[in-house]
Amino acid sequence: MRCEEVREILVESKPQEIPAPVEEHLSACAGCQEYARSWRLVSAGFEVLTEERVPDASLGFAARLVRRLEEARQGFGSGAEIWERAGRRFVYAALLLTLTMLLALLLPSSGPLRESAAADLYVAQADIASAENDPVLSPETALAPWPGASENGKK
């Protein structure tokens, strides 16, 4: 017999009704012997629990139980409060989503996909910046007089 089959038979049968093939397997297999011993202890514990008498309820037990149940129910909140809180959260989430969408549509984009006007402005700014760095068009050379020109514009 296999160990799984032996263990199933041990669980399903009473300790006094163990078949002979299972007894043979238990004498040869140390793991199943340990399992059978543990199962006997657990079964004995359950039998002791079934024999023990349930204690009677003390005076005022029912009143205390009802009071504690009421306190728990009040602390948990009513169904209307739960739906109201969930509704508020939904409204706040919808407002946040709407605000985010409006900001995304109204603010100029700064990503790689831009509007044509924004792209033209960006290119024009780049041209101005490159002209300022040009040595011929720099402000220092613009203020210097042309060679051979007089102050009044006459030669």
Domain that holds residue 37: 3-51
- Between 59 and 142, the more confident residue is 59
Query: Does a structural domain hold residue 101?
Result: no
The pLDDT tens digits of the residues spanning 15-59 come to 778 888 888 888 899 999 999 999 889 988 888 888 878 778 788
Query: Does a structural domain hold residue 35?
Result: yes
- The DSSP output letter for 56 is P
DSSP reduced 3-state for 31:
helix
Query: Does a structural domain hold residue 32?
Result: yes
Query: Does a structural domain hold residue 155?
Result: no
Q: How many CB atoms lie within 10 A of CB 49?
A: 8
Query: Does a structural domain hold residue 99?
Result: no
The count of domains in the chain is 1
Task: Examine the pLDDT at 125 and tell me if it is beyond 60.
Answer: no
| Mean pLDDT (whole number) for 121-128 | 56
Query: Does a structural domain hold residue 127?
Result: no
- Among 39-48, 106-115, 137-146, the minimum mean pLDDT is found in 137-146
| Mean pLDDT (whole number) for 53-77 | 83
Query: Does a structural domain hold residue 136?
Result: no
Q: Using an 8 Å Cβ cutoff, are 25 and 6 in contact? A: yes
> In degrees rounded to 5, what are phi and psi of residue 116?
-65, -35
- The DSSP output letter for 137 is S
Q: How many CB atoms lie within 10 A of CB 25?
A: 19
Task: Examine the pLDDT at 124 and tell me if it is beyond 80.
Answer: no
- Nearest Cα residue to 123 out of 114, 106, 139: 114
Query: Does a structural domain hold residue 130?
Result: no
